[in-house]
Amino acid sequence: MTIVIDTLVQTPISILLGDVISLLKEKMDLVLNAKDDLEVLQQKLSYFEKALKVTDHKLFFSNGRNRDLEEELKDVVYDTQDIIEGHQTTIALCRRDKHSTTSWNKVRKPWTSLCSCFKEHVSPSYKLANDIKNINQKLDKIKENNKMMAGMFGITPNGGEGPVHGEHDNPQERTYHMGVQPPIGREKDKKDIVKMLLSNDSTESSKTHKGGVSIISIVGKGGIGKTTLAKMVFKETEEHFGKRQTVRIWCSRYYEKCARDLEKTLNCSLSELCTQLRNELSKEKFLLVLDDVWELKWWEEEVEVTLMAGVMGSNILITSRNKDVSEGMRAYMYELQEFSFDQSSELFLKTALRGCQTQEDLVMHNVRDVGERIVRKCGGLPLVVKTVGSMMRTKKMHTEDWKFVEGSKIWEWKMPADSSSSSEISGKILPGVMLSYDDLPHYLRSCFVYCCIYPKDCEIKRERLIKQWVAHGFIEEKEGIDVEVTANQYIEDLIKRCLIDTHDTFYGTSLKLHDIFHDLALYIGGKEYSHAKHTHHLSLVGVQDAEVHKCNASGAANKLHTILVDGFSSDWPSVFIKDLTNFKWLRVLSLRDCEIDELPKSIEDLSLVKYLDLSWSLVRRLPSSIGRLYNLQTLDLSESRIKELPKEMGELCNLRHLGLKDTWFLEFIAEGLGKLTNLRTLHRFMVCEDKGKTRGCNINELKDLKKLKGELSIEGLRGGRVKMIDAKKVHLKERHELNEVKFYFKEQEDDRVDNASEERGLLEALEPPHCIESLGIYGYKGDRPACYLDTNYEDLRMVHQERCPSWATAIEIKSLEELEVSECPTLCALPSMPLLKSLEISYCDGLNTIGDMPALESLNVYGCEKLKTLANMPALNLLWIEGCEWFSDCGGLNTIGDLPALESLDVNRCEKLKTLASMPALELLEVKGCGRVKQVADDHMPALKRLKQLPTRLPSLEEVYVENSPNWESTFTSSPCLREAYFKNCPKMQTEGLISALSELMGHDSQATQLQKLSVMNCPSARLGWKLLEQLPNLIELKLDLKSAVLLPSPLPSEVSTFLPSLKTLDLQDNTNVDEVKWGRLPQWVWGLSQLEKLILRCFSEDITLGGQWQCLPKLKELQVAGFPNLKSLVDVNNITPQQQQNETTCPTNAQQQIACLSNLQSLLIDSCPALELPQDLSDRLGGKIRHRNI
């Protein structure tokens, strides 16, 4: 629909005309027989081009457009495009084969040559004439109905034109970016929800609780700002929660598919995954945001049970258009209201006004009142207000332009009932966003609509989308400008118009369509982007069950121009790949992350394909027929298992992008890459030795690749195939569009090292362009080349050096922001670098000094044994040092000053370290293997929140980890914020100080201690007892061994439940030394912990049974027993003592009741219990939930 009327007016129809004219000029027999029909086609295309220009000025959503006729004409244009391009390709391949000196046609027998001549010339000639005749007949049928043509195009039956208004009344010569604007109008809503999330009030009026977890839902219309508000809340509260995560739950099918794939990948059941997740969530408070929830199927059973088992104070925040979702999750419902007029006006003005414009400008140009009326038409929906405001930003302040928008009939348009019922369109389309689409320049319309081929909420990679747009011919070609550059500007224009969002991910910035814009694009795309049998663009990305779509794909095979498949698409890729001949009109084929290990020879049948994505696939080799893909522009093999590239790659003369990023298995590239003179992207250029009769790629080929951009690594340097004279001919210095260059020198098998001066000469011959931002040198044996000077590389920001044994002085380039140096033993000192922010140094044995780094924020040092001092680093935020034996005081931490910005310090295996200086901003401290450390500067770490060694007086401390500290005796004097404490192998550590601190806290306003997790292992002086434990009402996880604890006399089980009312995880280990005191058997107080969900028991040598009291632990989900040499049974009623029977808290039962209770376990781990036998009934019930180790 849109492709014919809204975009092909200016591109494909015009392009087709040009292609037809080109064919008419051909002198080949292939074309001569079809010449008359081509001339007729040229006349008809000219007629329709004029007619379509008239229609292009009718709004897409107006009633004056005949959709059925548009669809019919669209199909004819597609067919014509396929036929013309197909025959152009045939001509090009015939010419290439004819002039190829290696063509085997020259040696064929006469009869074979005659048959081939008929096949290559007479047969295509006849087919071209026949195809063109069919196209002309279809166009005649459309043209026959003059009344319909007149009504559709505004033309007279004799071919005269109706009123033509030229190009856009408001030509989009320039778009204005409104910049990054903070969310407005939702401050009160944000404060209300934040207050509920952080409130200790558990009343129903504030929020809904289930267990320890609260659920709050933000409910409202599409476009009202639910997601934006959730992001504001998330950012505001992130410091209050240990774990934070945002997830989108649009449809349960993705959840189900992901769950199955996780089970397969991790080789464990969903139940076991939930158990592990439950353990993590029980450790600290979390905030989980579930965005755009549409249904509840995914929430049922295990997911709900898992998430709701979190720590007290945890929260789940959901957003949804559906109130039933909120009610089904028993959440407190916060209904988001539309913006008031004042709020809408504020947002509109922020998006509509450019630069220095103000409201006075609106008054001056008599458009303020019009603008206010436009704002009211937006209905108080922020998405609509922002989109319409962004559209108005592109217009001049002319009254007629603004009144045209105000009076548009689109404001009154209603979506047809049959369209809104589509399963792929989830809601109604808002008039304001439709208006924004109709205001788009023609060149942006197809690009926008194409985005709907990706599923909702899909993160779209910018470069991938650009290459697909180019493959479909959506991008206008401009002289002297690469189409990719133009396409990138198209994306910026759509972003500025708020039709596409940017989204930050772990891998960088990606693009997204809001659900409402996705619905809009899908509606405009119509059948062309549907999953019906008439579709031209088919996506199986994220589709759970592709069976139905396989059928549709087969039915539409002769029409399909796009197929997108990914690793979630079942086994269809392997089935599809065997029958490529049915999909000969494809332009875009993505088999990303699919489990296919080879391409068939029939890949040559896809002669029109321009984009082929095999990234993350298992493909190891490409067939020689790959060279027949004459039109191929993009071949992406990144992250695949490709091992070699054949010589036929050199025949892909139109290839612009060869993706080889992270192709770790690639070993050989055949000679021929130098022919690919259109290449813009080539991540890896490998100089290779010959492989049998196949010549390997050589350095000479790089000289003809003059259009390369972005990242390039040159590998296989050194050896006979890389000569300095050839390297100079490359003129790498002139590749001004490269921004990252890496050099990899090949290790010689005979361990022969070339002359250092020759190697230096080679690196100088390959001098990179001075505009690069990143440089890497690996395995280089020479010293520093003279060309690497500060004056030459003013834009250089990042340098990586590795295995450069003769490089004695660092690259002194003042613009550097990141430096990594590894295995450079002759490097003695690093000079001052004023802009450096990140520095990593490893295995530089000669390094002893690091100069002043005033901007340095992160420093990692490993294995630099002679390093003694660090100079001034006032901005240092993170410091990690390991294996620096001469570090007497952390490089003289005292000489650095007070480290005012340092937040994280990790020191390991620095044997001479004795003291740590003042660090007022430090939040995380970890010291390991530093046996001489005696002192931490007391009272000079007020911000410390997490400690993995050396605790002291720390009022903000939240986490403590102390391990392997034989001389440490420190105690806690004040740690009121402590939440987690872990002690191991600290024989002199005592807990009296901790008890005093907790007692002091308990007496302060009756506030309970915050300690939630406590682990004390192999700390014999700790003597942890009930005096401490009874002061821990919020403790949820306890891990003890008998060496560290004195829990005698034992309390009754009923008393323990009052001491530890919140405990969910208990890990007990008995003494393993024969001569020391033991529990011997499991203490009876364990059975009083009725809230327990996880129980771990180890090394109880005397126990022969644990049975008889399992009903005392009704919530137990996970049980682990390890190191019980005599344990025979988990279930045994005969082992119950009279004292146990008299105790009302214990629950003696018969064997069947015990089995029934244990059958509720989600996980049972049995480790080193040789005598243990489970009842058959219990084994049958638990099945795969039982795991055995070291039997």
pLDDT for 451 equals: 94
pLDDT for 1151 equals: 72
Cis peptide before 182 (omega within 30 of 0): no
pLDDT (tens digit per residue) in 657-702: 999 999 999 999 999 999 999 999 999 999 999 999 999 999 999 9
Question: In this structure, are residues 1009 and 1003 in contact, taking their beta carbons and an 8 Å threshold?
Answer: no
pLDDT for 1141 equals: 44
What is the C-alpha separation between 477 and 89, in angstroms, rounded?
Answer: 20
pLDDT (tens digit per residue) in 750-771: 545 557 778 888 998 999 999 9
Q: What average pLDDT score do residues 47-58 get? A: 60
- In which residue are the tokens 């559209």 written? 391
pLDDT for 915 equals: 65
What is the C-alpha separation between 241 and 352, in angstroms, rounded?
Answer: 38
pLDDT (tens digit per residue) in 897-920: 456 888 888 887 776 666 666 677
pLDDT for 248 equals: 52
Helix (H) or strand (E) holding 320: strand 314-320
Average pLDDT, the chain: 77
Query: Any idea which of 159-168, 372-381, 495-504, 806-815 has the lowest mean pLDDT?
Result: 159-168
Which tokens sit at 311?
Answer: 């720590």
pLDDT (tens digit per residue) in 13-40: 566 666 666 655 554 555 555 667 777 7
Dihedral-angle region of residue 555 (phi above 0 means left; psi in -120 to 50 means alpha; beta otherwise):
alpha
Question: In this structure, are residues 318 and 290 in contact, taking their beta carbons and an 8 Å threshold?
Answer: yes
Helices 462-471, 442-450: axis angle to 10 degrees equals 120
Contacts 24+ apart (CB under 8 A), 912-918: 912/885, 912/886, 912/887, 912/888, 913/887, 913/888, 913/889, 914/888, 914/889, 915/889, 916/890, 916/950, 917/889, 917/890, 917/893
pLDDT above 70 for 889? no
pLDDT for 686 equals: 95
Which tokens sit at 331?
Answer: 């959440």
Helix (H) or strand (E) holding 613: strand 611-613
What is the C-alpha separation between 1144 and 1146, in angstroms, rounded?
Answer: 6
Question: In this structure, are residues 671 and 641 in contact, taking their beta carbons and an 8 Å threshold?
Answer: no
What is the C-alpha separation between 974 and 978, in angstroms, rounded?
Answer: 9
pLDDT above 80 for 529? yes
